[in-house]
Amino acid sequence: MIGIGVGLASVAGVRAFLPLALAAAFFVFGVFVLTGMTESLMGWPVVAGLFGLAVLEGILDKIKALDRGLNWAMAPVRAASGAVLFSLAMEVGPTVEAVPWLVAGALISGIVALLKVFLRPPAKIEASGVSTRFLSFVEDLVALVGGILGILIPFVPVIVVGFLLFFYFRVRKRRGRKYGGLRILGD
């Protein structure tokens, strides 16, 4: 269970609503059981609303002018999403015993969200062959695949998210060089 929680919380640091929507959809299909009052709150309207928010987040992330501000604004939302997913994976209801799991999930997803803010290259510079729209598409793909894997295979999403952060680091490093990463100019 801890592996599922860590995987989902790390993916929630990349995208806030897609892992929540996937968890809700898996619950509605009966893949896993939620405890406490959340069982009465889950249904197709919740799944549709969360997928709608995920699509909206994906669209807003592809707008260059909103890039840095949206990442900063979504960091606490991603931390809260990871906290909820971690506590749901640990199968604790809305009680006092859920607090340590909420804190652990918020820490994991909050750290990933902040690393994303600091490591993602600026949207204004398109060098080294990687556009910001491509980076946003990779984030969407990591959130989708990582969310599904996080529910089915524990700890694998941590590797996927680690790859995404390493990819950001490498792109940022190449963009920071003197000629923007073009090897022919003396990179």
Q: How confident is the model over 131-169, as pLDDT tens digits?
A: 777 778 888 888 888 888 877 777 777 788 888 888 878
Return the pLDDT at 2: 65
> Helix axis angle, 156-175 relative to 99-119, nearest 10°?
30
What's the farthest any 2 CA atoms get from each other in the chain?
A: 62
Tell me how many degrees the CA angle 181-159-157 measures, rounded to the nearest 5.
120
pTM: 0.75
Residue 109 has pLDDT above 80, yes or no: yes
Domain count, the chain: 1
Domain that holds residue 58: 2-185
